[in-house]
C-alpha cells in the first residue's frame, strides 16, 4: 500500500499533485497528517478536492511555531506514533511511505515507518547546503535521516541532488526530471482560471514579501534586516508582506511589528492558501523571500525574485530571474531599482515529475 505522510504546509503543496493524481487514477492511498502546520491546511485540501486525512497524529490545534514547542511535539509524535503505528498504517507491513522534503516530519515519519517494517520514499531528496546550521534544522534532518539508513528510495529533482543522494544515501536513487512544485503550480493556475478573477484593487505596482526561516527570524539582527528591507522597498513600491505565524510572533515579541504597522505603503497579510498566493505573485512586480519552495516557484513562473539569504542549496533560477542577496545592500538596491531586468518567460516542461514517482511506487499498490 502507498502511505503519504504530511506535516507541514510546504510538504502538502509539493505532494498535492501526487495525491490528486492518485485519486484521479483510482489508486488508494493512506493519508497521514502529522499536524506541525494547521493554518490553511484543510482549506487547501478543499481547494484541490483532496480527501481528508485518514489519520491525524498530534494535532495541537495550531501551528507549532517555537523551538520549545517543536521539541515537545516531536516527542509526542514518536510516543503516540509508536503505540498507534498499527492503526496509523492500517496494519500494512509491505508498503511504502512517501514523505516530502527535509522538515522534521521527514525524520519522524521515517522512524515510525521503519518501526512498522515499511519502505520509505523521500520526495525532493538530495538537496545539500553542506552547512549543518544553515538551513536549520533542514540540513541536519537530511543528513541524519539518510545516514541512519531510514530512506529506501531517493526521488531527486535534478543532476546535483541525484549525485548528493548517491554520495550519502543507502537506497535507490531516481531522477524525477523536475520538482513536484511544477505540477502544483499547473494545478493552481488551472483552478485560478476556473474561478472568478481576484481583484487586487491595486492601481500601483506592488511587491510581495514572505520571510519565515529560522535563521531569519530567530535573532534580532535578522529581524532588523527585515524591517530595513521592507522600508527600503516601500520607497519604490507598495508591499504586501505575507506573515507566517512564527514571523508575526517574532516581530511582535521584538517590538518590530509596531514599527511596520506605521508604514502606510505596507499591507500586513496573514498566510494565504496556495492558489491565492500563486495568483498574487503572478501579478506582482517581484517577490522577496527566504524560502526554497518560493525560489523554485518563481523560477518556473519567471517572476523576478530577490532571495533574502546568504546562501541557497537550490540552483533554480539563479543567474536568471532569481538574485541571491547575500544581504548585500548594493545587490538589494540594484534589484529593487530594476526588477523587470530579471523577468523571464514561464518555463515549459512536458514531463510531469509526479508521473515518475507514481510509476515507481505502483509495485506497492
Residue 99 and residue 110: Cα distance in Å, rounded?
8
Burial class (CB in 10 A: 0-12, 13-18, 19+), 359: exposed
Residue 131 has pLDDT above 70, yes or no: yes
Which domains are delineated in the chain? 2-178+351-364 (3.40.50.2000), 199-342 (3.40.50.2000)
Is residue 170 very low, low, confident or very high in pLDDT (cuts 50, 70, 90)?
confident
Cell of 58: 498530534
Q: What is the pLDDT of residue 199?
A: 47
SS (H, E, C) 6-51: ECCHHHHHHHHHHHHHHHHHCCCEEEEEECCCCCCHHHHHHHCCCC
Q: CA-CA distances (angstroms) from residue 292 to 133, 165, 172?
A: 16, 18, 25
> pLDDT by residue (tens digit) across 33-68?
998 888 889 999 999 999 999 999 988 888 887 888
Report the sign of the C-alpha dihedral through residues 310, 313, 318, 319, in that order.
Answer: positive
Q: What is the mean pLDDT of residues 239-248?
A: 95
pLDDT higher than threshold 90 for residue 133: no
pLDDT at 356: 95
Return the C-alpha cell found at 225.
Answer: 534586516
Cα–Cα distance measured from residue 109 to residue 123, given in angstroms and rounded to the nearest whole number: 13
Q: C-alpha distances in angstroms, 30 versus 3, 18, 116, 154, 191? A: 5, 13, 14, 20, 25
In angstroms, the CA 361 to CA 363 distance is 5
pLDDT for residue 79:
96
Residue 267 reports pLDDT greater than 50: yes
The predicted pLDDT at position 327 comes to: 96
pLDDT tens digits along 2-37: 999 999 999 999 999 999 999 999 999 999 999 888
User: What is the signed CA dihedral for 101, 281, 336, 232, rounded to 10 degrees?
Assistant: -90
Give CA separation, 267 vs 87, 148, 223, 239, 250, in Å. Answer: 45, 45, 17, 6, 18
Residue 209 β-bridge partners: 241, 288
| pLDDT score recorded for residue 146 | 92
Find residue 28's DSSP bridge partners.
none
pLDDT at residue number 322: 98
Cα radius of gyration rounded to whole Å, the chain:
20
Which alpha helices (H) appear in the chain, and where do they start and end? 9-25, 41-47, 67-88, 104-115, 138-147, 159-168, 181-194, 214-217, 220-233, 245-254, 256-261, 274-282, 292-301, 329-337, 353-361
pLDDT at 207: 98
Q: Mean of the pLDDT values across residues 88-108?
A: 94
Query: Which range (65-69, 116-120, 257-261, 299-303) has the least confidence?
Result: 65-69
pLDDT of 308-327, one tens digit each? 999 999 999 999 999 999 99
- Under a CB-based contact definition with an 8 Å cutoff, are residues 38 and 270 in contact? no
Question: b/e string for 327-353 if b means 16 or more Cβ within 10 A?
Answer: eeeeebeebbeebeebebeebeeeebb
For residue 210, is pLDDT > 80?
yes
Is a pLDDT exceeding 50 seen at residue 122?
Answer: yes
Amino acid at each position: 500500500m502507498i502511505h503519504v505522510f504530511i506535516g507541514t504546509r510546504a510538504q502538502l503543496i509539493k505532494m498535492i499533485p501526487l495525491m490528486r493524481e492518485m485519486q484521479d487514477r483510482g489508486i488508494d492511498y493512506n493519508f497521514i497528517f502529522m499536524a506541525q502546520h494547521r493554518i490553511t491546511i484543510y482549506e487547501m485540501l478543499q481547494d484541490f478536492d483532496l480527501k481528508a486525512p485518514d489519520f491525524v497524529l498530534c494535532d495541537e490545534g495550531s501551528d507549532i511555531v517555537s523551538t520549545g514547542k517543536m521539541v515537545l511535539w516531536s516527542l509526542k509524535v514518536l510516543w503516540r506514533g509508536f503505540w498507534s503505528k498499527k492503526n496509523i498504517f492500517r496494519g500494512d507491513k509491505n508498503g511504502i511511505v512517501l514523505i516530502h522534503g527535509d522538515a522534521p516530519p521527514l525524520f519522524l515519519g521515517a522512524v515510525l515507518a521503519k518501526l512498522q517494517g515499511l519502505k520509505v520514499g523521500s520526495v525532493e531528496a538530495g538537496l545539500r547546503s553542506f552547512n549543518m546550521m544553515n538551513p536549520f534544522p533542514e540540513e541536519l534532518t537530511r543528513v541524519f535521516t539518510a545516514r541512519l539508513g531510514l530512506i529506501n528510495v531517493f526521488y531527486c529533482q535534478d543532476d546535483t541532488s541525484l549525485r548528493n543522494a548517491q554520495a550519502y544515501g543507502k537506497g535507490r536513487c531516481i531522477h524525477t526530471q523536475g520538482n513536484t512544485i511544477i505540477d502544483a503550480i499547473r494545478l493552481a493556475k488551472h483552478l485560478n482560471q476556473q474561478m472568478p478573477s481576484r481583484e487586487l484593487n491595486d492601481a500601483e505596482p506592488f511587491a510581495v514579501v514572505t520571510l519565515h526561516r529560522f535563521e531569519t527570524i530567530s535573532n534580532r539582527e535578522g529581524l532588523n534586516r527585515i524591517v530595513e528591507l521592507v522600508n527600503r522597498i516601500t520607497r519604490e513600491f507598495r508591499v504586501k508582506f505575507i506573515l507566517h505565524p512564527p514571523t508575526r510572533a517574532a516581530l511582535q515579541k521584538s517590538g518590530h511589528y509596531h514599527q511596520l504597522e506605521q508604514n502606510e505603503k505596507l499591507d500586513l497579510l496573514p498566510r494565504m492558501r496556495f492558489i491565492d498566493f500563486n495568483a498574487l505573485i503572478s501579478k506582482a512586480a517581484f517577490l522577496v523571500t527566504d524560502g526554497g519552495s518560493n525560489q523554485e516557484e518563481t523560477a518556473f513562473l519567471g517572476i523576478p525574485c530577490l532571495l533574502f539569504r546568504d546562501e541557497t542549496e537550490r540552483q533554480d533560477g539563479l543567474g536568471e530571474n532569481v538574485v541571491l542577496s547575500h544581504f548585500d545592500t548594493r545587490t538589494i538596491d540594484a534589484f529593487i531599482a530594476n526588477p523587470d531586468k530579471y523577468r523571464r518567460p514561464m518555463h515549459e516542461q512536458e514531463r510531469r515529475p509526479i508521473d515518475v514517482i507514481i510509476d515507481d511506487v505502483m509495485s506497492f499498490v
